[in-house]
Amino acid sequence: MLGVMIMPKQPTIHLLSNPQSLAQAAADMVVEFSRLSAAHKDDFHLVLSGGSTPIALFTLLAEPEMRQRVPWSRVHVWWADERCVPATDPESNYGQTYAHLLSIAPIPPENVHRAKGELAPEVAARDYESQIAEAGNPYFDLILLGLGNDGHTASLFPGQVNEGETTRRVIAVTADYAGRPANRVTLTPMAINGSKHVVFLVAGAGKSQAVFDSLRGVHNPLAHPAQRIVPIYGSVTWLLDDAAGMMLRV
Ligand code: 6PG
């Protein structure tokens, strides 16, 4: 019996002229994909990234013209990772999303699934994993990921492959980056690679080397964690501003 070789699809790369047009492209994808799910009477499971890049996206989605196009009652919001801090902490990814979007959009509270950063890391990871299980281990419809200057994505960092990355949906990790909280909870490649659409949102010249290494560098998922993101059936899209994508042009 010949084994079935599933060839991963090549990523789609879009270069946008600036961070605002990048955010607009991402917002248009959220609107389009969520409306398609709702049209089929399906819930739409949206996973958000943390960090500063998605703030422009959240702000756009909160604006009346975009906000009214999203079928919020069908949307379930999750996070790709969370820092182990209380939701009220300025470093909380949930807290940032709440401030810029969830405090404004009419999403049912029960549709907001946050990793509880106030808990001990391992407890928070198991709790978040049980939330996903209680939701029926849905295939995430759209996962938005960022990329650090060092090439990390979610909380998957270069040089460290964590126990559980291929056997669990959520793990607790520790990593030092840009003075941000070191203890984190993150979706694993196993969870991310079961999704339908993964979209990397990357802006700024500081990310250009990490983008190049992830997309055009040697295949080394240990060094380049974005290379661990290979959805089994889903697609991968990179939305880059010109600065982040400048090394791809040469
Ligand atoms: C986090 C994020 C992380 C982020 C990148 C990029 O919790 O920090 O999930 O993976 O997406 O570090 O962050 P910026 O958008 O701030 O550059």
Mean pLDDT of 28-54: 96
- Domain of residue 55: give its range: 14-249
1 assigned to some structural domain:
no
pLDDT for 185-222, tens place per residue? Answer: 999 999 999 999 999 999 999 999 999 999 999 999 99
2 assigned to some structural domain:
no
Q: Output the CA angle 101-144-240, nearest 5 degrees.
A: 105
Q: Specify the ligand 1 atom closest to the Cα of 145.
A: 11
**Residue 1 pLDDT more than 80?**
no
| pTM score | 0.95
Report percent pLDDT > 70 for the chain.
97
4 assigned to some structural domain:
no
7 assigned to some structural domain:
no
Between 230 and 6, the higher pLDDT residue: 230
- CATH code for the domain in which residue 121 is found: 3.40.50.1360
pLDDT for 141-183, tens place per residue? Answer: 999 999 999 999 999 999 999 999 999 999 999 999 999 999 9
Closest CA to 62 of 89, 29, 34, 99: 99
8 assigned to some structural domain:
no
Residue with CA nearest ligand 1 atom 9: 50
Determine if ligand 1 sits within 6 Å of the CB of residue 49: yes
Residue with CA nearest ligand 1 atom 10: 154
Structural domains of the chain, count: 1
6 assigned to some structural domain:
no
Determine if ligand 1 sits within 6 Å of the CB of residue 29: no
Check: CB of residue 215 under 8 Å from CB of residue 11.
yes
Determine if ligand 1 sits within 6 Å of the CB of residue 225: no
Confidence (pLDDT) at 25: 98
